[in-house]
Each structure stands twice: as structure tokens, then as C-alpha cells.
């Protein structure tokens, strides 16, 4: 299969959200039409995010406020990826020590797991470390203790910081991993989230897709495009967020296609044919 006809094989798109469909709390004007084009073309889609702080229900509420209709079937977060990974890797695991927000914890409890307390007597089957703006020192110490004791240990995402327009640094999951590593010498057994291909693999398993039938659409080379490459999927970069055209063209490996924004991508998919040449598709 040549680069020129990759888009014609796409049956499902995995969509990064911030910088791709909206920026902060501002929905891009072309997003509703793009989603309509996908439905008209019979192409499925999933909203995918490295941020585990919200449960699926909380993300759906946010999307609904923006005017985006979605259901649980449309969402795939790093929390869901972690749940799938635990079920596959440690099928008997039930008790988890969760370093994460109450919203994230509720997602794991909904899946049937038990959240362990901050006590040396409440030993978990698996330690899960995530981005946690509600973090308390004692729970960070307890997570480090379980890491030191050899409990199976996964992290939801590798991001060192969470992007923000506020005048602060939002310390993310990757930095918490480094803190635990410095204290104990232990690294996670598995780091999920982009660019790891696990989330795309989870979507492929859910919908019965081959790698060439799913496209990862996002605004970052080192997470979105890298995950597409790692999964063998079609990588589509949009220039509505973080990455400039110059950076994209000089990256290796680069995306299969570059679009100014998803509105233009939607029209290309609706026509059920690839652009004349791969690379920047501008208007």
C-alpha cells in the first residue's frame, strides 16, 4: 500500500482533543462539521487523551458543554487503557493503590477494582501512578513504599508537565515517576499513554480494526504521530495546536499527512480518496 492511498483505507479515527478539536475551553469552529463528515463517510471515531484526571463521564460532560455529542463508546482514556492492561496482564488483580484524582479512582471502581487505603496493612495487587492535581504527600510516600516492596507498578502516561496557560507548572505523571524512582530506584513496569501504542491497540481490539484501518489525528509529533508510528497506524498531524509546519516537515519519523485543521481532513475523508500528494494539505 502506497502513502497515496492510505486515507482510502481508514475506517476509524482516534482523535486527540486539546489542540485538535478545541483549545482550552474554546471549540474550533470546524470541529462540528468535521464530525458530521466522519459520520457521513461511515467512519467511526474515538476521543483519546493522555490526561487521566477525569473519568469518562466527566469527559463526556465537558464535550457536551462544548456541543459535541459523544457516548462512552467514543471515549478511550489512559485510565481505560490502564484498566485493559491490568485485566490482560494480571487477570486476578482486584486491589489497586491509585495515585490519582477522585474522578479517576471512580473510573477504576466502576470497572470493578477496589481502591486501597493509605495504609501498610492494605497491600495492593497493582500500583497505578497518574497525573494527580489532588496529590497529598502521604499518598506519594505510600506509592513509593509499594514500589519499593516490588508491587507490580504501572503509570498512566509519560508527560512530565501538563500544558497550561496559567502562570505555574503543572507537575504531571512523568515527574511523579521520577520522584518515585529517585526515592526507591524503581521505574514503572509499564508506562501507558501516548506514544505507547497500547491505547490505539485497545481501540483496534474494541472495533476489530487492522493498523492500516485506523488513523491517529493530533497536533503533536512526539506523542500523537509517534504513537501512530509505534502502532503501525496512519499518522495525521494537524497544525491547529502545538506543532508548526516547519517542525513537522523536519521530523523523523514524520506524519503520513499534514492538514491545517481537521475540517480539511474531514472533507478529504468524505471524498473517500487521498490527497494528490502526501504532506501539507492547506487551504
Q: What secondary structure does DSSP assign to 184-203, as a single string?
A: HSPPPSEE-STTSTHHHHHH
C-alpha cell at 229: 508510528
Residue that is last in its domain, among 139, 168, 191: 191
Cis amide leading into 273 (omega within 30): no
- pLDDT tens digit sequence for 130-146: 999 999 999 999 999 99
* Residues β-bridged to residue 46: 14
- Range with the poorest average pLDDT among 39-43, 92-96, 112-116, 184-188: 39-43
Mean pLDDT, all residues of the chain: 90
Residues 169 and 184 in one domain: yes
- pLDDT tens digit sequence for 90-109: 999 999 999 999 999 999 99
Residue in the structure block whose three cell numbers are 484526571: 53
Residue in the structure block whose three cell numbers are 457521513: 40
d(Cα 235, Cα 225) in Å, to the nearest integer? 5
Residues 253 and 218 in one domain: yes
Share of the chain above pLDDT 70, in %: 94
Can you give the residue range of the structural domain that contains 181?
92-191
C-alpha cell at 246: 516547519
Handedness of CA 263, 265, 266, 267 (dihedral sign): positive
Q: What is the pLDDT of residue 271?
A: 78
In a domain, 157, yes or no: yes
pLDDT at 259 over 80: yes
| CB neighbour burial string for 194-224, b if at least 16 within 10 angstroms, e if fewer | bbbbbbbbbbbeeeebeeebbbbbbbbbebb
Q: What is the pLDDT of residue 274?
A: 41
| CATH code for the domain of 19 | 3.40.50.1000
Q: How many domains does the chain have?
A: 2
pLDDT at 278 over 50: no
* Residues β-bridged to residue 153: 127
| CB neighbour burial string for 146-169, b if at least 16 within 10 angstroms, e if fewer | bbeeebbbbbbbbbeebeeeeeee
Q: How far apart are the first and last CA of the chain?
A: 27
Residue that is last in its domain, among 170, 191, 212: 191
Share of the chain above pLDDT 90, in %: 72
Indicate the pLDDT class of residue 272, thresholds 50, 70 and 90: low
The 3-state secondary structure of 134-148, one letter per residue: CCCHHHHHHHHHHHH
Q: What is the pLDDT of residue 241?
A: 86
Residue that is last in its domain, among 145, 164, 191: 191
> Pick the residue with more confidence: 6 or 12?
12
Residues 201 and 187 in one domain: no
In a domain, 66, yes or no: no
Indicate the pLDDT class of residue 69, thresholds 50, 70 and 90: confident
pLDDT at 280 over 70: no
3 state SS of 209: coil
pLDDT at 3 over 80: no
Amino acid at each position: 500500500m502506497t502513502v497515496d492511498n492510505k486515507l482510502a483505507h481508514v475506517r476509524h479515527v482516534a482523535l486527540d482533543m486539546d489542540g485538535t478539536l478545541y483549545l482550552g475551553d474554546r471549540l474550533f469552529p470546524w470541529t462540528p462539521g468535521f464530525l458530521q463528515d466522519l459520520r457521513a463517510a461511515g467512519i467511526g471515531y474515538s476521543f483519546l487523551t493522555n490526561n487521566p484526571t477525569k473519568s469518562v463521564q466527566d469527559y463526556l460532560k465537558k464535550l457536551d458543554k462544548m456541543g459535541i455529542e459523544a457516548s462512552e463508546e467514543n471515549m478511550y482514556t489512559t485510565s481505560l487503557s490502564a484498566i485493559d492492561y491490568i485485566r490482560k496482564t494480571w487477570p486476578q488483580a482486584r486491589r489497586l493503590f491509585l495515585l490519582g484524582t477522585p474522578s479517576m479512582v471512580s473510573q477504576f471502581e466502576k470497572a470493578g477494582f477496589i481502591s486501597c487505603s493509605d495504609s501498610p496493612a492494605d497491600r495492593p495487587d497493582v500500583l497505578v501512578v497518574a497525573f494527580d492535581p489532588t496529590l497529598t504527600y502521604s499518598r506519594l510516600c505510600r506509592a513509593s513504599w509499594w514500589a519499593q516492596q516490588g508491587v507490580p507498578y504501572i503509570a498512566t502516561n509519560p508527560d512530565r508537565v501538563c500544558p497550561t496557560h496559567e502562570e505555574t507548572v503543572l507537575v504531571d505523571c512523568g515527574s511523579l515517576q521520577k520522584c518515585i524512582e529517585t526515592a526507591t530506584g524503581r521505574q514503572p513496569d509499564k508506562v501507558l499513554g501516548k506514544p505507547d501504542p497500547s491505547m490505539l491497540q485497545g481501540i483496534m481490539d474494541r472495533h476489530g480494526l487492522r493498523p492500516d484501518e485506523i488513523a491517529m489525528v493530533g497536533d503533536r509529533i512526539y506523542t500523537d504521530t509517534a504513537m501512530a508510528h509505534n502502532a503501525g497506524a496512519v499518522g495525521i498531524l494537524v497544525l491547529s495546536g502545538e506543532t508548526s509546519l516547519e517542525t513537522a516537515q523536519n521530523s523523523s519519523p514524520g506524519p503520513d499527512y499534514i492538514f491545517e485543521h481537521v475540517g480539511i481532513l474531514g472533507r478529504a475523508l468524505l471524498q473517500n480518496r487521498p490527497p494528490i500528494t502526501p504532506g501539507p494539505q492547506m487551504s
